[in-house]
């Protein structure tokens, strides 16, 4: 392809972190789409999700940008779609011919990469274990389960013309994939609207605003009538983290701290059973993982980080009743998030 040099931006799993220079989310060369209705086409699918689940996840990812910009997104079947999306293994398309387009490396490495306009391509590593839901490490499989919504939303930002953001609270921060930042932040909103503007999507905006909906239905008006309600510069609402049940003991710890648990029976006089099972967020922990978790009988130790946040439960006698539960949360969770 001739013309301007195209840049590709990728996301890598936490197990293969690397330094990425901080850059403003807005592309200084101003590469963007010249129309607001962006079409996209799926060329291939992951092995771990059905076609319908993949389409739904990508729809959610695209909506994160359509909710805060004048852009709309439509899936099409024709080959001249603006953005093409596919899941590929190892050597794919023209990877390797340019340092800006790396080939994939199998499980637990490079997750995805995307090209700035006008190329409009998003590539996902087909060898990764893709899910819909928060990314986490699967102790049973020994690999990361990667949230397609989160990774796709980050890569879509690149495909729309956004570079990495220096704001740790931004979806376009280079560490967003590692920390699981799922929603657009203030810097993301500023950047996408600097490229594409802020446009009301309904002809009824003036009438709705006049009837007081800017105050009474702020979420609706922020999405459909941001200019009329002067909401263009405001970020989306922050969704609070659900509070764990009262029976779960909460530990709020700094990142990097080693947290130790000991499983104890409800009845202190009961005979200690020979088998103890540990679970994280309902999934059994089968073995220790160096640098992340140490499992030894009734004792469990973890290193506090974004992926190790969650609820840890021990059970007596394999499938017996839960003996103890702890919810681990990071102190100052926004630090390093993006």
Please list, in sequence order, all residues whose beta carbon lies within 8 angstroms of the beta carbon of residue 240, skipping any fewer than 6 positions away: none
Respond yes or no on whether the N-terminal peptide bond of residue 118 is cis (omega within 30° of 0).
Answer: yes
Which of 20-34, 151-165, 199-213 has the least mean pLDDT? 20-34
pLDDT at 329 over 50: yes
The segment with the largest mean pLDDT, out of 188-197, 231-240, 314-323, is 188-197
Q: Is 173 among the annotated ligand-binding positions?
A: no
Q: Is 200 among the annotated ligand-binding positions?
A: no
pLDDT at 79 over 80: yes
Segment 78-96 shows an average pLDDT of 84
Q: Is 106 among the annotated ligand-binding positions?
A: yes
What pLDDT does residue 166 have?
Answer: 80
> Given pLDDT bands bounded at 50, 70 and 90, which one contains residue 4?
very low
pLDDT at 336 over 80: no
Q: Which residue has the higher pLDDT, 45 or 286?
A: 45
pLDDT digits (tens, 9 = 90+) for 121-146: 999 999 888 988 888 887 877 788 88
The position carrying tokens 């392809």 is 1
Question: What residues does each domain of the chain span?
Answer: 8-195, 249-330
What pLDDT does residue 20 have?
Answer: 31
Fold of 8-195: Collagenase (Catalytic Domain) (3.40.390)
Which of 49-63, 167-181, 252-266, 270-284 has the least mean pLDDT? 270-284
> How is the beta sheet containing 121-125 ordered, strand by strand?
8-12, 110-115, 121-125, 83-88, 37-42, 72-75
What pLDDT does residue 142 have?
Answer: 79
Q: Is 125 among the annotated ligand-binding positions?
A: yes
pLDDT at 337 over 60: no
The Cα 296–Cα 111 span in angstroms is 32
Mean pLDDT of the chain, nearest integer: 78
pLDDT at 256 over 90: no
Q: Is 92 among the annotated ligand-binding positions?
A: yes
Q: Which residue spans within 193-330 are E strands per DSSP?
A: 249-253, 258-262, 276-280, 283-284, 293-296, 299-303, 310-316, 322-330
> Would you tell me which CATH number, out of the four given (2.60.120.260, 2.60.40.10, 3.90.1140.10, 3.30.70.260), belongs to the domain 249-330?
2.60.40.10
Query: Catalytic residue positions?
Result: 155
Q: Is 113 among the annotated ligand-binding positions?
A: yes
């Amino acid at each position: 392809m001739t013309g301007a040099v195209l840049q590709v931006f990728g996301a890598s799993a936490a197990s293969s972190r690397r330094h990425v220079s901080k850059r403003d989310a807005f592309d200084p060369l101003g590469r963007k789409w010249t129309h607001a209705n962006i079409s996209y086409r799926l060329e291939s699918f992951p092995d771990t999700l059905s076609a319908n689940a993949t389409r739904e996840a990508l729809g959610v990812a695209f909506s994160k940008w359509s909710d805060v910009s004048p852009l709309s997104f439509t899936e099409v079947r024709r080959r001249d779609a603006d953005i093409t999306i596919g899941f590929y293994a190892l050597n794919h398309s023209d990877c390797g011919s340019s340092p800006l387009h790396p080939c994939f490396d199998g499980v637990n490495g490079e997750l995805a990469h995307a090209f700035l306009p006008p190329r409009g391509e998003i590539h996902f590593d087909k060898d990764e274990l893709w899910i819909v839901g928060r990314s986490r490490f699967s102790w049973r499989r020994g690999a990361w389960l990667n949230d397609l919504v989160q990774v796709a939303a980050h890569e879509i930002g690149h495909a729309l013309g956004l570079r990495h953001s220096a704001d740790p609270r931004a979806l376009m921060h280079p560490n967003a994939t590692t920390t699981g930042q799922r929603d657009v932040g203030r810097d993301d909103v500023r950047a996408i609207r600097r490229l594409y503007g802020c446009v009301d999507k309904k002809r009824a905006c003036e009438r709705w605003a006049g009837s007081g909906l800017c105050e009474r239905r702020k979420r609706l008006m922020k999405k459909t009538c941001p200019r009329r309600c002067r909401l263009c510069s405001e970020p989306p609402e922050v969704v609070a983290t659900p509070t764990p049940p009262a029976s779960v003991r909460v530990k709020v710890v700094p990142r990097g701290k080693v947290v130790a648990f000991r499983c104890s029976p409800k009845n202190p006089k009961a005979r200690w059973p020979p088998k103890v099972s540990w679970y994280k967020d309902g999934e059994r922990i089968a073995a220790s993982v160096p640098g992340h978790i140490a499992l030894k009988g009734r004792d469990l130790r973890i290193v506090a980080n974004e992926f190790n946040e969650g609820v840890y439960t021990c059970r007596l006698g394999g499938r017996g009743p839960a003996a103890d539960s702890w919810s681990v949360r990071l102190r100052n969770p926004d630090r390093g998030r993006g």
